[in-house]
Chain A
Amino acid sequence: MTAMPKFTRRSFLVSSAALGGGLALGLRLPPFGPGVVRAADGSPEITVWVAIRPDNTTLIRAVRAEMGQGTITGLGQLIAEELDCDWSKVEIEYPTPGQSVARKRAWGDFSTGGSRGVRQSNEYVRKGGAAARMMLVQAAANEWKVPASECTTSASVITHKPSGRRTTYGKVAEAAARLEQPKDVPLKDPKTWKIAGKPLKRLDTAKKVNGTMVYGMDLKMPGMLNAAIKDCPVFGGKVKSFDAARVSGMRGVKKVVQVGDSGVAVIADTWWNAKTALEQLPIVWDEGENAKVSSASIAEILKAGLDAEQAFVGNQAGGDVKTALADAAKRIEAVYAYPYQNHACMEPMNATVRYTPERCELWGPTQNGEGTFAQVLEASGLAADKVDVHNVMLGGGFGRRGTYPDDYVRQAVLIAKQMPGTPVKMIWSREEDMAHGKYHPVMQCKLVGGLDASGNLAALHMRLSGQSILASVRPEVVQAQKGRDPLSFQGVFESGEHSFSYTVPNLLIDHAMRNTHVPPGFWRGVNINQNALFIECFMDELAEAAGQDALEFRRKLMAKHPRNLGVLNAVAERIGWSRPAPSGVYRGLAHLHCFDSFVAAACEISVKDGNKVKVHRIVAATDPGYAVNPAQIERQVAGSFVYGLSALFFQECTVKDGRIEQTNFHQYNSMRIAQMPKVETILMPTGGTVWGGIGEPTICVAAPAVLNAFYRATGKRIRSVPLKNHGIELV
């Protein structure tokens, strides 16, 4: 086999399916067949998902990223369930993307976004556990010379029923690893689950309470240096010049380097020294044309899109919506807007890289090990067998640590290349993190609804105008759709995992794509945040215009959407929708179908002095099909309200002179414990063939539920985010 030439990020992504088909990479494959593949500690690997130590400890492999959402615990439970292993003796092991590529992508997709961690890998990881169990049983049966069908398993122990003989997984693991992997691997009925589906504790908590969990920020290596970086604050701008001599004598400074054509970094003994010198470093930028852009100029462009002729259609039903609206007995119109927002992960972006012309390795937090691998390949210019990526615990992800062009991974490699042989840890200051996010896209929306004489919704036109994430991040997807970004329609789309949950006789939902120079990204929930807010607030507006109860008005449009109706009814019942709220308390509700889950929320708020909002209580219902760990789901749901309500009340990244104005949490606030409502989670999985996501769906119902309640409390309909711009506070 010859070494493959270096490939680019894009070609890697496109060809990653081909890798699975056995694309030659010039790597030495581990011995398959009669030989045994071993885990790092020498334990025999039974299937790629399971290795077992002689002491009966199970090593479960995980390649999805853990960033607090509990995915690794959930996937571990699914594998352990099928394996029938002792949960108290499970450890997690993380294969690297380099190892996976070398084994023809044995572990499949590493990407952890779109709430896909569990739902899209559940089947093959369960099969990996089930196959391992069959092989372990077969090995014991072979030793005892009995039929495998006479053996049972429980907690890593195999018992031969008729004779009562027992052995452990650890004892037969070597023999099992030599067996052929079975092809036909039946899975358990979820109704019989004993480990999966249970509210088990996370596997990684102990290290998070005593300071020993190592995040990317905490990495230490012999001889390591630290880098602080500043990229041109105007997106798309370049470095014109910088005066390294002015700081090269400062404490600890080793080197001042340019990073690509837009960044400058100071490398020093400590990060504090690097950052201090960087702040003193005179840099002249070529800011370019983008320096003229402001939030106001962007808003103007989006506003024009609201009435533009051309738009991409995401959902259409019935006849011509414009005619139907003209014919309607009553016409209601409203314009909403959603701002740029930064993910503001608790741990700012960082990565540690050691580069030599023979090998380039990166250690750092990533939601997509393979995507990062491809970026290291490209930035280092080395071949695939000379590169690897080691994921470490993420201090939050929320979509920010997915793979984006020209991001922190590339910077870290370009810095390390200028210090060959020395590991360099590059850390972004919070200010750099605020200035160079991959922002929640900016969007405006014009909604026009037509009611018939009896107050039924006869026609609806929802016109989105704003930025496309995919056009920037995955242009090939947009190209394949002839310019349309299907993701723009999350929650209101014609079909699939994000389909619209109302039936409207004459319907048009379309998107006038208006892209800007501000780089967009997948921000927890992605486009459901604004879409749920737009449609669910407008539903309340329509209901009011029709003189109907907000819940009843919705229900009439939901006969064909039983699972949405299910979660909506559940929250309405729990909050007591049919009974009056306590005096001074007002209610609101919202729901959506997204990431293959069905979610709804109902809240109770009170408002003091017309602007001080207290959210007392939120009831949230989720139907994800299957619930792998109810306790972790509850935590994701409660946490979603913190993220979603912080965004609603406080968060906006404004653009001035082409750059983001907010620099830190004092201008970009985040909810504190005093503002936290009591969250009651109703988990109501209804099974079926599709598994829904958890990490993101609930986030989108927070804002519309609260806005609808705010209207009831004050008579004021707020149509743009964040509420601080309207003088409204969260108390």
Chain B
Amino acid sequence: MRLTINGKSHEVDVDPTTPLLWVIREQVGLTGTKYGCGIAQCGACTVHMNGLPVRSCSIPVSAASGAKITTIEGLASGKTLHKVQKAWIDHDVPQCGYCQSGMIMAVAALLRTNPKPSDADIDAAITNICRCGTFQQVREAIHAAAKAA
């Protein structure tokens, strides 16, 4: 099966029912995308499929074949960080950081469709779990990223 991840094409030999998450982590070897629950509850596994945020633990790899997939490793353009990543550094958002790949991917997708989200927009769109409780900094950083060019 052929997968396009971060602009690169990968040939993977897996059972087609394998969740996209585990193919990304174990076959392609990109471990920035995290496993937290496996049942679409926590958002730690969020990646972009054709620009839209998806919870990769709950999508069979067969459904991703042919799609354009972006993981946290492919969010920056070369050495230039994405504005969400920059805002995350400026606001010192991550605590343990384990949820943050998924959080950042979810936020990047939100800002693409809604460049200046209100607090209510954020509440509706960002439903990731963060056990460390970084939400206060996440919200500040989203607004800062929205202001950034």
**Chain A residues within CB distance 8 Å of chain B:** 67-70, 201-202, 204-215, 217-218, 220, 226, 251, 270-272, 276, 344-348, 393-398, 427, 429-430, 631, 635, 638-643, 664-666, 670-674, 676, 678-679
Chain B nearest Cβ from A374, distance in angstroms = 25
Chain B positions within 8 Å of A212 at CB level: 32, 73
Measured CA separation A395–B102 after assembly (Å): 13
A665 x B129 contact (CB < 8 A): yes
Contact A346 B134, CB 8 Å, known A208-B100, A393-B96, A673-B122: no
Q: Does B123 contact A (CB under 8 A)?
A: yes
Q: What mask results when residues 32 to 56 of chain B are scored 1 for a CB within 8 Å of chain A, else 0?
A: 1111111101101000000000000
B69-90 interface with A by 8 A CB criterion: 71-73, 75-76, 81, 85, 88-89
Which of A345, A429, A664, A673 has the most CB atoms of chain B within a 10 A radius of its CB?
A: A673
A679 x B35 contact (CB < 8 A): no
Q: Which residue of A lies closest to B71 (CB)?
A: A211
Chain A positions within 8 Å of B42 at CB level: 346, 665, 670
Chain B positions within 8 Å of A671 at CB level: 133, 135
Q: Does B30 contact A (CB under 8 A)?
A: yes
B132 x A346 contact (CB < 8 A): yes
**Nearest 10 Cβ contacts at the A-B interface:** A211-B32, A642-B133, A68-B96, A639-B133, A208-B97, A68-B95, A395-B98, A674-B123, A218-B31, A211-B72
Indicate which residue in B92, B122, B136 contacts A631 across the interface (CB closer than 8 Å).
B92
Main secondary structure of the interface of A (DSSP, over half): loop
B41 x A346 contact (CB < 8 A): no
Q: Does B124 contact A (CB under 8 A)?
A: yes
A211 x B33 contact (CB < 8 A): yes
Q: Does B9 contact A (CB under 8 A)?
A: no
Contact A217 B34, CB 8 Å, known A205-B92, A665-B42: yes
Contact A430 B123, CB 8 Å, known A68-B94, A346-B99, A635-B95: no
Q: Which residue of B lies closest to A344 (CB)?
A: B131
Measured CA separation A393–B31 after assembly (Å): 14
7 contacts between A and B (CB under 8 A): A201-B92, A209-B93, A209-B94, A271-B22, A347-B36, A635-B136, A642-B130
Measured CA separation A220–B136 after assembly (Å): 34
Q: Which residue of A lies closest to B92 (CB)?
A: A201
B1-45 interface with A by 8 A CB criterion: 15, 18-19, 22, 25-27, 29-39, 41-42, 44
A202 x B71 contact (CB < 8 A): no
A67 x B26 contact (CB < 8 A): no
Q: Which residue of B lies closest to A524 (CB)?
A: B131
Chain B nearest Cβ from A394, distance in angstroms = 6
A673 x B135 contact (CB < 8 A): yes
Q: Which residue of B lies closest to A667 (CB)?
A: B41
**Chain B residues within CB distance 8 Å of chain A:** 15, 18-19, 22, 25-27, 29-39, 41-42, 44, 71-73, 75-76, 81, 85, 88-89, 92-101, 104, 122-124, 126-139
Indicate which residue in B81, B124, B139 contacts A210 across the interface (CB closer than 8 Å).
B81
Measured CA separation A209–B32 after assembly (Å): 9
Chain B positions within 8 Å of A205 at CB level: 88-89, 92-94, 97
Chain A nearest Cβ from B114, distance in angstroms = 15
Measured CA separation A281–B126 after assembly (Å): 37
Measured CA separation A345–B130 after assembly (Å): 9
Q: Which residue of A lies closest to B87 (CB)?
A: A209
Indicate which residue in A68, A69, A270, A679 contacts B27 across the interface (CB closer than 8 Å).
A270
Q: Which residue of A lies closest to B74 (CB)?
A: A211
Chain B nearest Cβ from A343, distance in angstroms = 8
A211 x B133 contact (CB < 8 A): no
Q: Which residue of B lies closest to A631 (CB)?
A: B92
B41 x A665 contact (CB < 8 A): yes
A673 x B76 contact (CB < 8 A): no
A395 x B34 contact (CB < 8 A): yes
B81 x A209 contact (CB < 8 A): yes
Chain A positions within 8 Å of B76 at CB level: 210
Measured CA separation A394–B127 after assembly (Å): 22
Contact A348 B35, CB 8 Å, known A68-B96, A209-B88, A643-B131: yes
Measured CA separation A403–B138 after assembly (Å): 32
Chain B positions within 8 Å of A676 at CB level: 133, 135-136, 139
Indicate which residue in A204, A427, A642, A665 contacts B135 across the interface (CB closer than 8 Å).
A642
Q: Which residue of A lies closest to B72 (CB)?
A: A211
A251 x B15 contact (CB < 8 A): yes
Chain A positions within 8 Å of B85 at CB level: 209-210
Chain A nearest Cβ from B37, distance in angstroms = 5
Measured CA separation A666–B58 after assembly (Å): 14
Indicate which residue in A213, A226, A635 contacts B134 across the interface (CB closer than 8 Å).
A635
A272 x B18 contact (CB < 8 A): yes
Which of B18, B124, B129 has the most CB atoms of chain A within a 10 A radius of its CB?
A: B129
Indicate which residue in B34, B44, B97 contacts A393 across the interface (CB closer than 8 Å).
B97
Measured CA separation A209–B145 after assembly (Å): 14
Chain B positions within 8 Å of A679 at CB level: 136
B37 x A430 contact (CB < 8 A): yes
Indicate which residue in A215, A398, A673 contacts B131 across the interface (CB closer than 8 Å).
A398
B38 x A270 contact (CB < 8 A): no
B89 x A209 contact (CB < 8 A): yes
Measured CA separation A212–B31 after assembly (Å): 8
Chain B positions within 8 Å of A672 at CB level: 123, 126-129, 135
Chain B nearest Cβ from A438, distance in angstroms = 16
Which of B122, B136, B137 has the most CB atoms of chain A within a 10 A radius of its CB?
A: B136
Measured CA separation A494–B98 after assembly (Å): 39
Chain A positions within 8 Å of B123 at CB level: 672-674
Measured CA separation A427–B26 after assembly (Å): 13
Measured CA separation A33–B124 after assembly (Å): 63
Q: Which residue of B lies closest to A251 (CB)?
A: B15
A670 x B136 contact (CB < 8 A): no
Chain A nearest Cβ from B68, distance in angstroms = 18
Contact A346 B36, CB 8 Å, known A69-B95, A209-B81, A672-B128: yes
Measured CA separation A672–B127 after assembly (Å): 6
Can you add 8 more A-B contacts, CB < 8 Å, to A218-B31, A638-B133, A642-B135? A205-B89, A205-B97, A209-B85, A346-B98, A395-B34, A398-B131, A642-B132, A676-B139
B129 x A670 contact (CB < 8 A): yes
Chain A positions within 8 Å of B29 at CB level: 220
